[in-house]
Structure 1
Amino acid sequence: MALIAKSLTVWLVILFCAVANGALRESVLIPHLGKAPGLLLSGVLLSALILVITFLALPWLGAHRPAQLMGFGAFWVALTLAFELSFGRFQGKTWATILEAYTFKDGNIWPVVLLVTAVAPYAAARLRGLQS
């Protein structure tokens, strides 16, 4: 149970950074760079943040087995999808509008961000030399 609570805590930090990244994207990146470059840079920035947060949190998480690490990634993706879909519906967006974010349209790389989220714990463990 402690691992789940720790994993949830790390995901909440990632969520906070993702919301801040979204605010940066909408208020600075897209107005100054345009939609496609703004979306692309935002996706790259969020992916990097996810990797850095995971790398820093990994010792605190205390998991080293590949199955645990991949489990964290899957858990984070599931939480992210639940949040994104629920928040979109709460805002009154149609399913078509919500699901458009899961395409590579106009520089959007959200599917890549989800993939990075899924593999971040395992990749961070590899970078720390905890996995061969």
Structure 2
Amino acid sequence: MAVRALLVWLTILVLAVANGALREALLTPRLGRNTSLLLSGILLSALVLLVARISVGWLKADSANTSWRVGALWAGLTLVFEFGFGSLVQHKTGSEMLQPYLFRDGNIWPVVLVVILIAPRVCYRVR
């Protein structure tokens, strides 16, 4: 199950990168930073829920406990990727990497992380 959960998370990662590219290329120039960050967060949350809904059966997340573990794995991988990429590739400081967690300028990143955490559980329950 862990390998399947990792493969699904990689799909979410690709969608998150595409979402960010869409935001920077189309939304921000037309709507401004605040609105584009808000819409991008909502869109990514919806995409995560959609991916979780589609994959929950394939993941064999067949219990509340298992679905919570999948969500915790996804959230953990997201944080490791975010801080690893931010520090190693983008050379951001810790302060810069923590800015999205402050709910400033329309950024709802902490809400997106909560959605990533709970999406498998919510979709298991709905299923």
| TM-score band w.r.t. shorter chain | over 0.9
TM-score (norm 1): 0.93
CA distance in structure 1 between the partners assigned to 2:45 and 2:103 by the alignment: 15
Instruction: Give the corresponding residue for 1:98.
Output: 97
TM-score (norm 2): 0.97
Q: CA deviation at 1:101?
A: 1.2
Alignment of 1:58-77 (within 5 A): 58-77=56-75
1:38-76 CA deviation, whole Å, 9 max, x = no partner?
A: 000000000000000000001111121111100000100
Aligned alpha-carbon RMSD (Å): 0.6
Instruction: Give the corresponding residue for 1:45.
Output: 43
1:80-119 CA deviation, whole Å, 9 max, x = no partner?
A: 0000001111211111001101110000000000000000
Instruction: Give the corresponding residue for 1:112.
Output: 111
Report the AA paired with residue 38 of structure 2: L
Q: CA deviation at 1:126?
A: 1.8
Percent identity (aligned): 50
Instruction: Give the corresponding residue for 2:25.
Output: 27
Instruction: Give the corresponding residue for 2:86.
Output: 88
CA distance in structure 2 between the partners assigned to 1:54 and 1:63 by the alignment: 10
Report the AA paired with residue 32 of structure 2: G
CA distance in structure 2 between the partners assigned to 1:17 and 1:84 by the alignment: 14
In the TM superposition, structure 1's runs of 4+ consecutive aligned residues that sit over 2 Å from their partners are none
Gaps of 5+ in 2: none
Q: Count residues with an aligned counterpart.
A: 126
SS of structure 2 residue aligned to 1:93: coil
Report the AA paired with residue 70 of structure 1: W
SS of structure 2 residue aligned to 1:107: coil
Report the AA paired with residue 122 of structure 2: A
